[in-house]
Amino acid sequence: MLPRIEAIRAQLRPSERKLADFVLAAPREVLDLSMTELAARAGVSQPTIARFCQALGCSGFREFKIRLAQSVAPGVASVYRNVEPDERAPGIIGKVFDRTIGALIEVRNSLSATSVADAIELLTRASRIEFYGAGGSGIAAQDIQHKFFRLGVPSVAYSDPHTFSMSAALLGANDVVVAISNTGRTRDIVDAARAALACGAKVISITHSHSPLAQLSTVSLASNVAEETDVFSPMTSRMSHLAIGDILAVGVALRRGPELVDRLGRAKEAITRRRIGVDAKAGKETGKDVAKDATGDAPKAAGGQHPSEKTRIARDVEDVRD
């Protein structure tokens, strides 16, 4: 909840921003206050509190307090400590990991399962998938596209604005764009998404929920990670984008089912052959084992039972890497 408040703070009305600052400064104190008491302590009206809760995606003050309590649970508050200029290695390690873990938990808790299911459906039926991202989001676009090409889905990733702008104008009704942007306000990405929609293509965005990109998308997957204000803090938004990309790749793999087993087996064998100190024959046998899985002849798992086909596919999607 705290990262979400930070993320939308600039878009709030002045009175709501005043309330946001109070909550960010004393989140534990807020948990012990009624709506009337909070209004008095923060110097705002009760309708302002109601609007503030709605802006955060909460049904009311009660849900807001529940989600706030989850954010300030033991082990989570340290997420908001900035890395200082004179920080030593132990502090850097702890703060970078804490901030990243906290952001991932927040995105997981706020991500809509319905939106994820809709996105997976669009991607499963797509004739072609294009991933767009500018700057740091371009790196995330390339990483996610790398997962999808292993699934046999025609896909490309573009990070150059001129390239993805031209490509968007050439898409058709059976194509899907996955547009990635932390703020959802990068003009080139928003314009490319709008051009793709004009051609009949579908647009899935991984971005801030209260942004121009999210509002125009066919399906929007919320990644409401607050932008870091100090130069020493880690860029946690990219990690949440990659995690959402993994969710989509695994979801599409599960939908496509048995047809992927042999493909993933061959890909795994090709990667194994290129590892130093690994017998090429062993790599070949690994590929055969995966192919056998489709017929139910794979070795039994530790518990004495064959792993389910869906579990095997999800595992293999993640295994095919260097």
Overall average pLDDT of the 290-294 stretch:
42
Same domain, 174 and 284: no
Q: How far is CA 139 from the centre of its chain?
A: 13
Highest mean pLDDT range out of 198-212, 224-238, 283-297?
198-212
* pLDDT score for 286: 45
Cα separation, 42 vs 53, in Å, equals 14
* Domain-terminating residue out of 73, 94, 110: 110
Same domain, 183 and 59: no
> In total, how many domains does the chain have?
3
**Which residues have a Cβ under 8 Å from the Cβ of 305 and sit 6 or more positions away?**
none
Same domain, 202 and 149: yes
Token digits of residue 219: 């399906």
CATH number at residue 180: 3.40.50.10490
CATH number at residue 26: 1.10.10.10
> When comparing pLDDT for 37 and 287, which is higher?
37
Overall average pLDDT of the 267-295 stretch:
60
Token digits of residue 29: 């104190």
Same domain, 97 and 173: no
Q: Does 228 map to a domain?
A: no
Least confident stretch, 74-78, 147-151, 191-195, 235-239: 74-78
Write the pLDDT tens digit of every residue in 54-87. 998 888 999 899 888 877 765 444 444 567 778 8
* pLDDT score for 216: 97
Same domain, 145 and 19: no
Q: Does 229 map to a domain?
A: no
pTM score: 0.69
Same domain, 91 and 202: no
Q: Does 206 map to a domain?
A: yes
Same domain, 84 and 176: no
Q: Does 273 map to a domain?
A: yes
Token digits of residue 299: 């070795």
> When comparing pLDDT for 261 and 256, which is higher?
256
Same domain, 272 and 314: yes
Same domain, 210 and 301: no
> When comparing pLDDT for 290 and 232, which is higher?
232
Same domain, 219 and 308: no
Same domain, 156 and 211: yes
Residue type at position 186:
T
Residue type at position 73:
A
Write the pLDDT tens digit of every residue in 110-152. 889 999 999 999 999 999 999 999 988 999 999 999 999 888 8
Token digits of residue 245: 């990309």
Overall average pLDDT of the 246-252 stretch:
95
Residue 84 is part of which domain span?
2-110
Q: Per-residue pLDDT for 304 more than 50?
A: no
Would you tell me the crossing angle of helices 259-273 and 309-319 to the nearest 10 degrees?
30
Q: Does 230 map to a domain?
A: no
* pLDDT score for 107: 86
